[in-house]
C-alpha cells in the first residue's frame, strides 16, 4: 500500500507563512487562509489518488501556540471540510528535532515498521500537486526507490520513497542534490517527476497564482481552493524589479 504523508503545521497566525506575511502585501490572517486553501487542495488530490492520506504534524511544544490550541484539531477542521471521507484520514505527531529527521522517522517507520510499499512526502505548500501527478510518482517508484519533484532553488516539495535512506543531512540545501546523494550512498536509483513549486516566498506565490489562473482560464486541472483564494483576495503575479512580484488589488 502507498501512504501519502502531508507534513503540515496547524494553520495559526505566526506559525505558517511567516515569510509571506513579511515580504508580501498579505497580512497574517490572509497568509493563514492561503495555507488552508493549499492544504485543502493537496488533501483533495491525495484522496483522489490511491493510498492512505496521513497528516503528520509537529506537537504543540515544538510550536509557539497557546495552551488551548490543538494542532490536530486545527488541521482536522481544514482537511475534514476538504475531503469526502474525513474518517479515512490518519493524523500522527511528527517525531524528530529537524525537518530531515521528521521525514526520515516517518518514512522509515512506514516502510519498515508498517511494511508500506511506498511513501510519498508532500509539503503543504505545493498546491499544484494533482492526482495524476501522484499516480505518476507511484509508477516511478516501482522502478526507482527514490523519486523527487525538484522545485526552484533546488528545493523539494514532493518526494517518494520505496526504500529508506540515511536522512541525516538529506534535506540540506540544495535538497534535490542532497536527497539524490543520500539515495546513491545507499546504492539506490533516483528518478524525477515534473517540478512542483513550494510557496514559501513572494516570488513563489506570484509564480504559483499565475500558473493557477492560467490553468483555470485554459479549463485545465487546477487547484480550485487556491484559485478561489487568489480571486477572493485579489492576489496576482506581476512584473517586479527582479522578476515576478505579488500585487494585491482591492477585491471588494
126 in a structural domain: yes
The pLDDT assigned to 240 comes to: 81
218 in a structural domain: no
Give the structural domain span for 14: 2-198
Nearest residue to 212 via CA among 194, 192, 235: 235
Are the CB atoms for 127 and 171 separated by under 8 Å?
Answer: no
166 in a structural domain: yes
The pLDDT assigned to 40 comes to: 98
The pLDDT assigned to 251 comes to: 58
61 in a structural domain: yes
224 in a structural domain: no
Are the CB atoms for 183 and 145 separated by under 8 Å?
Answer: yes
* Backbone phi and psi for residue 64, each to the nearest 5 degrees, phi listed first: -90, 80
* Backbone phi and psi for residue 237, each to the nearest 5 degrees, phi listed first: -90, 130
The pLDDT assigned to 68 comes to: 81
Domain count for the chain, please give it: 1
The distance of Cα 182 from the centroid of its chain, to the nearest Å, equals 21
CATH number at residue 13: 3.90.550.10
Peptide bond into 174 cis (omega under 30): yes
The distance of Cα 226 from the centroid of its chain, to the nearest Å, equals 13
Strands 243-248 and 190-192: unpaired
Spans of the chain, pLDDT less than 70 = 250-252
45 in a structural domain: yes
Helix (H, G, I), strand (E, B) or coil at 156: strand
Amino acid at each position: 500500500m502507498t501512504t501519502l504523508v502531508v507534513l503540515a503545521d496547524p494553520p495559526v497566525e505566526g506559525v505558517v507563512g511567516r515569510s509571506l506575511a513579511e515580504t508580501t502585501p498579505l497580512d497574517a490572517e490572509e497568509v493563514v487562509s492561503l495555507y488552508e486553501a493549499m492544504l485543502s487542495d493537496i488533501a483533495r488530490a491525495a484522496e483522489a489518488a490511491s493510498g492512505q492520506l496521513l497528516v503528520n504534524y509537529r506537537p504543540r511544544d515544538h510550536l509557539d501556540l497557546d495552551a488551548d490550541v490543538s494542532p490536530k484539531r486545527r488541521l482536522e477542521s481544514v482537511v475534514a471540510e476538504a475531503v469526502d471521507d474525513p474518517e479515512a484520514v490518519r493524523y500522527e505527531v511528527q517525531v524528530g528535532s529537524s525537518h530531515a529527521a521528521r521525514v526520515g522517522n516517518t518514512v522509515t517507520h512506514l516502510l519498515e515498521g508498517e511494511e508500506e510499499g511506498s511513501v510519498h512526502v508532500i509539503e503543504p505548500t505545493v498546491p499544484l500537486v494533482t492526482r495524476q501527478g501522484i499516480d505518476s510518482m507511484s509508477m516511478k517508484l516501482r522502478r526507482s526507490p527514490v523519486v523527487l519533484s525538484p522545485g526552484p532553488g533546488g528545493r523539494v516539495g514532493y518526494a517518494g520513497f520505496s526504500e529508506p535512506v540515511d536522512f541525516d543531512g538529506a534535506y540540506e540545501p540544495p535538497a534535490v542534490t542532497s536527497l539524490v546523494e543520500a539515495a546513491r550512498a545507499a546504492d539506490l536509483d533516483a528518478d524525477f517527476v515534473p517540478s512542483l513549486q513550494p510557496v514559501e516566498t513572494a516570488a513563489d506565490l506570484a509564480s504559483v497564482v499565475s500558473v493557477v489562473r492560467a490553468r483555470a482560464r485554459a479549463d485545465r486541472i487546477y487547484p480550485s481552493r487556491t484559485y478561489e483564494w487568489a480571486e477572493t483576495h485579489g492576489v496576482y503575479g506581476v512584473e517586479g524589479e527582479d522578476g515576478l512580484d505579488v500585487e494585491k488589488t482591492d477585491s471588494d
